[in-house]
């Protein structure tokens, strides 16, 4: 059975801190891994990773995939209160995205 584990489940930091969110997976017929940010409603697309070792960056966010060890990390540097959200990791197999339960990040001023 496909499995996605995100850690930590919850994280509380102060503005300016750097955080690392982890996602490990066991997915049959793995094709790619996506990261989403979910605030009150719709998940917002952040990154799609298909190759190992190639870091994707967008502003203060970056992510990398290790297909040999079956994990991905999402880094956020210089966190801001607007980064407070649930971060969802979703590996994709041939058919669909398989979402993890997410990491809830709270950033306080």
Partner 1 sequence: DTEVTQTPKHLVMGMTNKKSLKCEQHMGHRAMYWYKQKAKKPPELMFVYSYEKLSINESVPSRFSPECPNSSLLNLHLHALQPEDSALYLCASSQDFQRGVTPYEQYFGPGTRLTVT
Binding site for partner 1 (CB under 8 A): 29, 31-32, 34, 36, 41-45, 48, 50, 88, 90, 92, 94-97, 99-102
Angle at the Cα of 63 from the Cα atoms of 62 and 68, rounded to 5 degrees? 155
Shortest distance in whole angstroms from residue 13 CB to partner 1: 21
Residue 28 near residue 72, CB atoms below 8 Å: no
Question: What is the smallest separation between the CB atom of 98 and partner 1, expressed in angstroms?
Answer: 9
Taking the least distance from each CB to partner 1, the nearer of 29 and 69 is 29
50: burial class by Cβ within 10 Å (0-12, 13-18, 19+)?
middle
Residue 78 C-beta: closest distance to partner 1, Å: 25
Q: Is 62 left (phi over 0), alpha (psi -120 to 50) or beta?
A: beta
Residue placing its CB nearer to partner 1 in the complex, 60 or 96: 96
Q: For partner 1, which is the closer residue by CB, 17 or 93?
A: 93
């Amino acid at each position: 059975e496909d499995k996605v584990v995100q850690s930590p489940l919850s994280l509380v930091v102060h503005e300016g801190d750097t955080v690392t969110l982890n996602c490990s997976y066991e997915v049959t017929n793995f094709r790619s891994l996506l990261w989403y940010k979910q605030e009150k409603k719709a998940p917002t697309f952040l990154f799609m990773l298909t190759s190992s070792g190639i870091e994707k960056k967008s502003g203060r966010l970056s992510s990398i995939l290790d297909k040999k060890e079956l994990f991905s990390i999402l880094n956020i540097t210089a966190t801001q209160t607007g980064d407070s959200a649930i971060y969802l990791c979703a590996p994709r197999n041939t058919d669909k995205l398989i979402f993890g339960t997410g990491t809830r990040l709270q950033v306080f001023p």
